[in-house]
Structure 1
């Protein structure tokens, strides 16, 4: 799987991940790979699943040291952007193919996510969102910031979705148009996050 990940990082394309290419990179015969995976698609799916888990761990680590909902939400956003900036090609592969049939998230974690999200969006939508761990973290922290009074956003799901779309778009645009005269990362990120997550500043006490 390491060889497949390296091919994805080098090329930015899952079509480059073939059994022959992996075997050549590892220095083994292609048939040897069949002991672990049946098709190249299975290998790519394993890498994508592992990368999604890595993204979630990075978000959880960033927010663990934050005090208060506003700080957790800011930590989420900056960690998400940092992940995309550090691994732009691997990040792009996460969204380059249809959603995986399976998921690495356990049933226990899905049930926990549903319980956490249901009060925010209702159980039917919570059940749909639960496997999307990174987005679920973002949504929970938007809702917490609203409850805390540090965000005047009116709809947690709409705000989290807009914020995710903006972060995702910024990552891809930076990667695909590097010669654009981008403003310094810090102020630009703060502008995007503040306008979407904290419109009009904190709610009055």
Structure 2
């Protein structure tokens, strides 16, 4: 691949070039399906600059990959924000956010795998982790906190419930990507059913003697027998 000629950037346009570099790196990831094909030289060719120009903005390939992942999480948060807009009921908003997470992941499989494939050493969160914590994760926290304020969840369990809900959405998305031929239904019906069941089940465990699974099963059995 040859380097395309690029006009000299005007003074103060370094941020614009950095954005172009991040976009080009993301495009290469999507086109090739893995990060091994995203070299500094390949990105420079895509943008139309020389490799040294890339290093003015990113120390190395790993730093550029981190920037791509951070941008991905920002866009994920945008999708979750759009799904939350106008949804006054906090429970429905939580489901909307979870489904937005799943839909975005399935629509962007390569970037999703790359972004979540970077391990985080315990006690040493990266810039990418900080972006995720300040975006999609904090959105889950805000919604679950609102539900706790309404008495749906125990305020002491907010962090645990957020983690469980996030894990459920992440697991569903990962399974949909790995096994798209399973019976997911039209418009992700199965995924929505799973998230609904998880959230309602978690709420049931926090009511009355719900902390005892045996008691919960007994109440459910009594309800079914009453219906029959």
Pair 1:16-2:49 in alignment: no
Q: Deviations over 1:19-45 (max 9, x none)?
A: 122123334332332222221111111
The TM-score, its normalising length taken from structure 2, stands at: 0.67
Q: For this pair of structures, how many residues does the alignment match?
A: 180
How far has the Cα of 1:14 moved from its partner? 2.4
Deviating runs (4+, > 4 A) in structure 1? 103-106, 151-154, 200-204
The corresponding residue for 1:198 is: 200
Distance 1:152 1:194, change over 3 A: farther
Pair 1:166-2:191 in alignment: no
The corresponding residue for 1:97 is: 118
Give unmatched runs, 5+ long, in structure 2.
1-21, 209-228
Give unmatched runs, 5+ long, in structure 1.
107-129
How far has the Cα of 1:75 moved from its partner? 1.6
Larger RCO (CA under 8 A, 6+ residues apart): 1
RMSD (Å) for aligned C-alpha atoms = 2.9
73-82 vs 30-39, which moves further:
30-39
How far has the Cα of 1:201 moved from its partner? 7.5
The corresponding residue for 2:77 is: 56
Pair 1:47-2:72 in alignment: no
The corresponding residue for 2:109 is: 88
The corresponding residue for 1:140 is: 142
